[in-house]
């Protein structure tokens, strides 16, 4: 694969509404043909950032470069960027076909070309049987596909999707996540998706940015964000994490009860600082070998059977909250555990991440 | 259902039937009614003299409707675009004139428009020295009076669909490459047709049958159907012809209402959808 080309450069962009700062000096590069996710809790600024990319808000500061050209002040109808709205915003007085044609009519293309491109995108999104229906006669999933077709038919340089799966039920969501990825691959357009659902961005995105309070916390591949979170917030927000508060030492964290958690101290922390050690539930083993770096015994408080795996809540002296441990159904069958049992947990020093607390 | 039906029968159907029946009788020589069947009264309605008055009334009412819809829609648009908490206040001011009597509101225009009225004084204050413009007792004065009196109906009727419109629809149109003007013409306007139709029908129906405004602001120089019906019943004492004129007027109003029903029906599905989009 050739060197990925930068398509969009967000350069120190800030936006405030009155005294509220919604986006605070964010810089990001989005690459050509990438599936990029903007992730964060509600109010983190991700929607404002998306609206600035679409042209509905103008940044107070900074530049937005698309193919090297600053589009920060270009009106929405003059930029090669399309947005798929969370509410879909289909025109209720127009048929599916008219909705999809609308954007091409605005480009004043010849009728024959419009027809051809609309037919093609309706086929891709499996909407041909619904072409003459009005939006009110469609299901949620069908409306979503119309919204997608209406944006894709314009062949934008960049497609923005605002919580595209938010209105769908859980089962349909899973199917649409894969469907969106397939489509993105097929049409070869850069997708930027906004979501508050961390699982969604892990599944779909090539790279993701985690935002909080208008600031960028981390921007990397889902794997890197999950395995090497930039800080405690990211570690907690993405997936599930067990935290052990304490003081940083040269080779780990000294917990409040005097236990030592072995792990690599990040360069930003010096021994003696307040720190928190963390480990993912799936990295913890029951009945660990004697040479395992970190071992602790605890009492099983509750078990949650989840089909593929079993989730244990284990009370330990390390932290006020019980430890979450994920055991595969297979392992659980071999050595059954029940509530009230005292068991030993263990995990490697390499699986420990230490953050400033 | 039954009380509503009884109410409608007693207060709508019976009086209308009586008026309709009246139109088929002959006028007595010294006024009063001669109970012999005739179609003469309806024939007379199509007499060029009276048909001309009908056409004139329709033209005046139509002009007033057009002006009221343009001003009222713009006002409703501005109110719907204002901050949410300001909107009830602005609507209150829009309907405030309704709190005073129709006659008083119409007389106010005489104060404004007469030869030495407020408008002339204002012109003089700016240095105008010529003849005072003749504004009162013109067709323009009648239209101004009608527009002023019925404008709040249009504002209220247009505000309802405009305020319920999902603002993301306009954004989607802009996003797909449409200018502000195209967005208005192809998205906002079609979705608010029911409000425009309702407001327009209010103004047209109330204007075409109006007799107070033409009498006061037209100075009797501009006869509208309302004045004609009034005169037949109260001056000429020709109740059967007055009844036939009234029936013709009702027929026109029914046609207008049918047109509105068709326009609204075509747009109604869309309006419902535009609303449901909002909670998405």
Q: Residue A338 sits in a domain of what CATH number?
A: 2.40.50.100
Nearest CB to B175 within list A54, A107, A167: A54
Task: Report the residue of A85, A91, A138 to disrupt the B interface, i.e. the one with the largest count of B CBs within 10 Å.
Answer: A91
Nearest CB to B171 within list A56, A92, A93: A56
Chain centroid, CA B47 distance in Å: 26
- Which one of A170, A195, A227 terminates a domain? A227
Strands A342-347, A242-249: pairing is: unpaired
Residues composing chain A: 357
* Structure confidence at residue B223 (pLDDT): 83
Is residue B165 helix, strand or coil? Answer: coil
* Structure confidence at residue A157 (pLDDT): 94
Please name which of A278, A250, A241, A239 lies closest in space to residue A357, comparing C-alpha atoms.
A278
Helices (H) and strands (E) in chain B, counts: 15, 2
Q: Does residue A278 surpass a pLDDT of 90?
A: yes
Structure tokens of B150? 């019925």
Same domain, A257 and A194: no
Q: Is B272 on the interface with A (CB under 8 A)?
A: yes
Q: Is B264 on the interface with A (CB under 8 A)?
A: no
Same domain, A219 and A326: no
From chain B, the residues in CB contact with A151 under 8 A are 175-176
Q: Is residue A233 part of a domain?
A: no
From chain B, the residues in CB contact with A85 under 8 A are 168, 171-172
pLDDT (average), residues A114-138: 95
pLDDT (average), residues A137-164: 94
Same domain, A63 and A206: yes
Buried b (16+ CB within 10 A) or exposed e, A214-225: bebbbbbebeeb
B272 dihedral zone (left: phi>0; alpha: psi -120 to 50; beta):
alpha
CA distance A347 to chain B (A): 45
Give residue for tokens 């779909």. A204
pLDDT tens, N- to C-terminus, chain B (280 residues): 688 899 989 999 999 999 999 999 998 887 788 888 999 999 999 999 999 999 999 999 999 999 999 999 999 999 999 999 999 999 999 999 888 899 999 999 998 888 888 888 888 888 888 888 888 898 999 999 999 999 999 999 999 999 999 999 999 999 999 999 999 999 999 999 999 999 999 999 999 999 999 999 988 777 899 999 999 998 888 999 999 999 999 999 999 999 999 888 887 655 444 544 443 3
State the total domains in chain A.
2
Same domain, A61 and A135: yes
Q: Is the pTM of this model over 0.80?
A: yes
Q: Does residue A3 surpass a pLDDT of 70?
A: no
* Structure confidence at residue B205 (pLDDT): 93
What band does A334 get if pLDDT is binned at 50, 70 and 90? confident
Contact B106, B216 (CB under 8 A): yes
Beta bridge partners of A220: A208
Same domain, A41 and A96: yes
- Which one of A177, A198, A227 terminates a domain? A227
Q: Up-side HSE of residue B196: CA atoms within 13 Å toward CB?
A: 18
Please name which of A348, A242, A340 lies closest in space to residue A298, comparing C-alpha atoms.
A340
Q: Does residue A141 surpass a pLDDT of 90?
A: no
Q: Is residue A166 part of a domain?
A: yes
pLDDT (average), residues A25-29: 96
Nearest CB to B176 within list A87, A88, A102: A102
Q: Do A93 and B182 touch (CB under 8 A)?
A: no
Is residue A273 helix, strand or coil? Answer: coil
What values do phi and psi take at B163, rounded to 5?
Answer: -75, -20
* Structure confidence at residue B278 (pLDDT): 42
* Structure confidence at residue B269 (pLDDT): 53
Q: Is residue A10 part of a domain?
A: yes
Q: Do A92 and B274 touch (CB under 8 A)?
A: yes
From chain A, the residues in CB contact with B195 under 8 A are none
Q: Measure the CA–CA gap between A302 and A246, rounded to whole angstroms.
A: 26
Contact B220, B235 (CB under 8 A): no
Report the first-to-last Cα separation within chain B, whole angstroms.
36
* Domain B42-278 listed as CATH 1.10.3720.10: yes
Residue A257: count other Cβ atoms within 10 Å of its Cβ: 12
Contact A284, A346 (CB under 8 A): yes
DSSP state of B226: H
Same domain, A191 and A264: no
Strands A342-347, A285-286: pairing is: antiparallel
SS3 labels along A188-248: CCEEEEEECCHHHHHHHCCEEEEEECCEEEEEECHHHHHHCCCCHHHHHHCCCCEEEEEEE
Same domain, A223 and A255: no
Q: Do B168 and A89 touch (CB under 8 A)?
A: yes
pLDDT (average), residues A163-167: 83
DSSP state of B78: H
The Cα-based distances of A155 to A135, A188, A211 in angstroms read: 22, 9, 28
Contact A313, A300 (CB under 8 A): yes
A220: CATH:
3.40.50.300
Q: Measure the CA–CA gap between A241 and B67, rounded to whole angstroms.
A: 67
Residues composing chain B: 280
Contact A75, A51 (CB under 8 A): no
- Show the domain range for A96: 6-227
pLDDT (average), residues A124-148: 93
Nearest CB to B168 within list A82, A85, A134: A85
Same domain, A244 and A223: no
Q: Measure the CA–CA gap between A157 and A7, rounded to whole angstroms.
A: 8
* Structure confidence at residue B117 (pLDDT): 86
Is residue A148 helix, strand or coil? Answer: helix
Same domain, A219 and A282: no
Q: Measure the CA–CA gap between B88 and B71, rounded to whole angstroms.
A: 19
Is residue A54 helix, strand or coil? Answer: helix
What band does A98 get if pLDDT is binned at 50, 70 and 90? very high
* Structure confidence at residue A20 (pLDDT): 92
Task: Give the helix/strand (H/E) hosting A108.
Answer: none
Q: Do B182 and A136 touch (CB under 8 A)?
A: no
The Cα-based distances of A45 to A163, B168, B278 in angstroms read: 14, 19, 22
Q: Measure the CA–CA gap between B254 and A127, rounded to whole angstroms.
A: 43
Q: Measure the CA–CA gap between A94 and B267, rounded to whole angstroms.
A: 11
Task: Give the helix/strand (H/E) hosting B36.
Answer: none
Beta bridge partners of B78: none
Q: Where are the beta strands (DSSP E) in chain B?
A: 26-27, 33-34
* Structure confidence at residue A32 (pLDDT): 94
As to burial, measured by CB atoms within 10 angstroms (0-12 exposed, 13-18 middle, 19+ buried), residue A203 is middle
Same domain, A218 and A284: no
pLDDT (average), residues A341-352: 94
Nearest CB to B191 within list A75, A92, A134: A92
Where do the H-state alpha helices sit in A89-187?
96-106, 111-124, 140-152, 170-187
Structure tokens of B260? 């509105």
| Range of lowest pLDDT (A30-39, A307-316, B264-273) | B264-273
Contact A326, A309 (CB under 8 A): yes
Q: Measure the CA–CA gap between B259 and A122, rounded to whole angstroms.
A: 36
* Structure confidence at residue A183 (pLDDT): 87
Q: Does residue A215 surpass a pLDDT of 70?
A: yes
Q: Measure the CA–CA gap between B132 and B153, rounded to whole angstroms.
A: 33
Please name which of A41, A39, A46, A57 lies closest in space to residue A24, comparing C-alpha atoms.
A46
Same domain, A182 and A109: yes
Dihedral, CA of residue B209, residue B213, residue B216 and residue B217, to nearest 10: -130
- Which one of A201, A227, A253 terminates a domain? A227
Chain centroid, CA A165 distance in Å: 12
Nearest CA in chain A to B177: A77
Same domain, A341 and A298: yes
Q: Is residue A308 part of a domain?
A: yes
Task: Give the helix/strand (H/E) hosting A304.
Answer: strand A294-305
Nearest CA in chain A to B168: A89
């Amino acid at each position: 694969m050739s060197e990925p080309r930068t398509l969009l450069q967000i350069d120190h962009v800030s936006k405030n509404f009155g005294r509220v700062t919604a986006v605070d000096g964010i810089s990001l590069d989005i690459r050509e043909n990438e599936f990029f996710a903007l992730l964060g809790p509600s109010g983190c600024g991700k929607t404002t950032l998306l609206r600035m990319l679409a042209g509905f808000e103008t940044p107070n500061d900074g530049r937005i470069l698309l193919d090297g050209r600053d589009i920060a002040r270009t009106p929405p109808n003059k930029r090669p960027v399309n947005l798929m709205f969370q509410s879909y915003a289909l025109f209720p007085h127009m048929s599916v076909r008219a909705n999809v044609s609308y954007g091409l009519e605005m480009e004043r293309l010849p009728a024959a070309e419009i027809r051809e491109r609309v037919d093609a995108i309706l086929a891709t999104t499996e909407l041909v049987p619904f072409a003459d229906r009005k939006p009110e006669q469609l299901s949620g999933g069908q409306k979503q596909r119309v919204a997608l077709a209406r944006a894709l038919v314009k062949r934008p340089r960049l497609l923005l999707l605002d919580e595209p799966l938010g209105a769908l039920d859980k089962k349909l969501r899973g199917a649409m996540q894969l469907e969106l990825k397939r489509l993105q691959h097929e049409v070869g357009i850069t997708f930027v998706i906004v979501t508050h659902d961390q699982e969604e961005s892990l599944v779909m995105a090539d790279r993701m940015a985690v935002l909080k309070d208008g600031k960028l916390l981390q921007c990397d591949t889902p794997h890197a964000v999950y395995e090497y979170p930039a800080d405690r917030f990211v570690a907690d927000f993405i997936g599930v994490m067990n935290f052990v508060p304490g003081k940083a030492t040269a080779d780990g964290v000294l917990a409040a009860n005097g236990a030592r958690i072995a792990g690599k101290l990040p360069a930003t922390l010096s021994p003696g600082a307040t720190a928190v050690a963390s480990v993912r539930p799936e990295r913890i083993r029951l009945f660990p070998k004697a040479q395992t770096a970190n071992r602790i015994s605890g009492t099983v408080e509750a078990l949650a059977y989840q089909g593929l795996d079993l989730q244990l809540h284990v009370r330990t002296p390390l932290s006020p909250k019980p430890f979450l441990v994920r055991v595969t159904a297979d392992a659980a069958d071999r050595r059954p555990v029940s509530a009230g049992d005292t068991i030993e947990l263990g995990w490697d020093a390499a699986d420990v991440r230490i953050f400033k607390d | 259902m039954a009380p509503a039906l009884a109410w409608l029968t007693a207060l709508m159907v019976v009086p209308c039937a009586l008026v309709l029946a009246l139109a088929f009788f002959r006028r007595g020589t010294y006024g009063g009614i001669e109970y012999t069947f005739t179609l003469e009264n309806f024939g007379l309605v199509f007499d060029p003299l009276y048909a001309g008055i009908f056409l004139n009334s329709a033209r005046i009412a139509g002009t007033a409707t057009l002006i009221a819809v343009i001003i009222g829609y713009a006002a409703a648009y501005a109110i719907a675009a204002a901050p949410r908490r300001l909107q009830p206040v602005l609507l209150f001011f829009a309907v405030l004139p309704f709190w005073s009597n129709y006659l008083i509101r119409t007389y106010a225009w005489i104060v404004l428009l007469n030869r030495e009225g407020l408008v002339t004084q204002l012109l003089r204050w700016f240095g105008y020295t010529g003849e005072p413009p003749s504004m009162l007792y013109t067709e323009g004065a009648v239209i101004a009076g009608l527009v002023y009196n019925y404008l709040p109906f249009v504002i209220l009727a247009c505000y309802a669909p405009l305020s319920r419109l999902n603002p993301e629809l306009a954004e989607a149109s802009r996003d797909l490459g449409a200018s502000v003007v195209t967005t208005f013409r192809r998205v906002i306007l079609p979705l608010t047709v029911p409000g425009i139709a309702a407001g327009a029908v209010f103004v047209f129906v109330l204007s075409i049958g109006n007799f107070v405004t033409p009498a006061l602001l037209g100075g009797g120089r501009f006869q509208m159907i309302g004045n004609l019906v009034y005169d037949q019943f109260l001056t000429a004492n020709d109740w059967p012809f007055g009844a036939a004129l009234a029936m013709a007027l009702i027929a026109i109003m029914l046609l207008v209402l049918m047109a509105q029903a068709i326009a609204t029906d075509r747009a109604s599905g869309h309006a419902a959808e535009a609303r449901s989009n909002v909670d998405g």
